[in-house]
Amino acid sequence: MKKIGITGNIGSGKSTISNIFALLGTPVYDADSRAKAVMVEDQQLVSAIKNTLGPDAYFSDGNLNRAYISSKVFQNDSLLAALNAIVHPAVFADFESWCAHQHAPYVLKEAALLIESGSYKQLDQLIMVSANEDIRLARCLARDHSKEEEVIARMRNQMAQEEKLKFADFIIQNNDDLLIPQVMKIHQQLIQLSSV
């Protein structure tokens, strides 16, 4: 079974593309939502996060204090790197466990930071969802109801889309492009690759 990554910068529409693949019967692992779950379920990871960020990283009910964590790590690169160094291996182990229960020619791992985290190296191929910056900004503003300067700051915090494209085996253009034909073409190619 082939393991295929799908990534794209904020507002690129990678979740929309993943949903189209899912409709075709492809199992999709949402790494970002699973990371949030693992950060609460895995007690060793919980302890490591508390040791790194302090006990306020969790509420008394055991849920993640996302606002506290964000305030700590997004102004401190070394703390963010330390957090990623403990979370990414746990998510990788969770993904491997999930893969063992899938029965398909290939699976998709959807994640925003596949390239930045280096986890793309553990996958067979990579799909990059690309969209113009003004379109990505408009999508984020409509979806998150965030302030424009906050979204722009988050965009600037990510690796440039042009850099990410260099890592891609497949590129899906998601400006005003037709998505289903692009997905179908890649789906057919991945089915063929998986049967080799």
Which architecture, in CATH terms, is 1-27+106-196?
Answer: 3-Layer(aba) Sandwich (3.40)
Residue indicated by tokens 């075709």:
24
pLDDT in tens, 42-88: 999 999 999 999 999 999 999 999 889 988 887 788 998 899 899 98
Give the model's confidence band at 143: pLDDT under 50 very low, under 70 low, under 90 confident, else very high.
Answer: confident
Phi, psi of 2 (to 5 degrees): -80, 145
* Span(s) in the chain for CATH 3.40.50.300: 1-27+106-196
Closest CA to 99 of 36, 37, 26: 26
pTM of the predicted model as reported, rounded to 2 decimal places: 0.88
The mean pLDDT value for 91-100 works out to 94
pLDDT of residue 95: 95
Please state the rounded mean pLDDT for residues 20-40: 95
Q: Within a 13 Å sphere around the CA of 1, how many CA atoms are in the beta-carbon half?
A: 16
